[in-house]
Amino acid sequence: MFNFFKKNFFINFILVLTIFGLDRITKNFVISQSKSNLSNDLFLSNYLNISLMWNEGIAFGLFAFDERFFYNFITILIIMVIIIVFFMILKNKGYKKYSLILILGGALGNLYDRIFFGAVPDFIDFHIGDFHWFVFNVADIFISIGVIIMILSEFMVTKTSNEEL
């Protein structure tokens, strides 16, 4: 565990900080543009809209509740998951470790918003005609990429382990 802090701490910390910073910059930009334009719709096109929406649920607006109790419960649950992810980073190496770092950076960005704004600003809206994907933000992109890398790395490890048998 202490080797982690000696060898890789600054690289890992800078990566998490960069993800958090990119998320904050994009969210602050969209929020400020929304206020100055007096509209939540900042950019509209055939396939991509930049439209500010406040998400009180978890990823992609799932489990959005009006009740404060549920919101606070979900926030505490997210904090516990972030702590678990942090300790998983300390124990893992390679692709799995960096996928967890991507997840941690994104999760911290969204947690910041939950705590300071009471909701997470989502603004990236991909759509084809009337079919819209979930509206998301930069933190969600890093979380999703981290999860995809983790899943792929599990398949690679499993495939390698099975080939050795």
Quote the tokens at residue 14: 């800078």
Average pLDDT of the segment spanning 73-96: 92
Is 90 exceeded by the pLDDT of residue 124? yes
Percent of the chain having pLDDT more than 90?
56
**103 falls in which pLDDT band (50, 70, 90)?**
very high
User: Among 23, 113, 122, 125, which one carries the catalytic annotation?
Assistant: 122
Tally of domains within the chain: 1
Is 60 exceeded by the pLDDT of residue 32? yes
Average pLDDT of the segment spanning 132-160: 88
Residue whose token pair is 């978890």? 58
Q: Which domain holds residue 34?
A: 2-164
pTM, to two decimals: 0.83
- Assess contact for 106 and 142: CB atoms under 8 A: yes
Is 90 exceeded by the pLDDT of residue 2? no
**37 falls in which pLDDT band (50, 70, 90)?**
confident
Nearest of 143, 138, 135, 140 to residue 54 by alpha carbon: 135
- Assess contact for 57 and 145: CB atoms under 8 A: no
User: Among 23, 113, 125, 140, which one carries the catalytic annotation?
Assistant: 140
Average pLDDT of the segment spanning 145-158: 87
23 is an active site residue: no
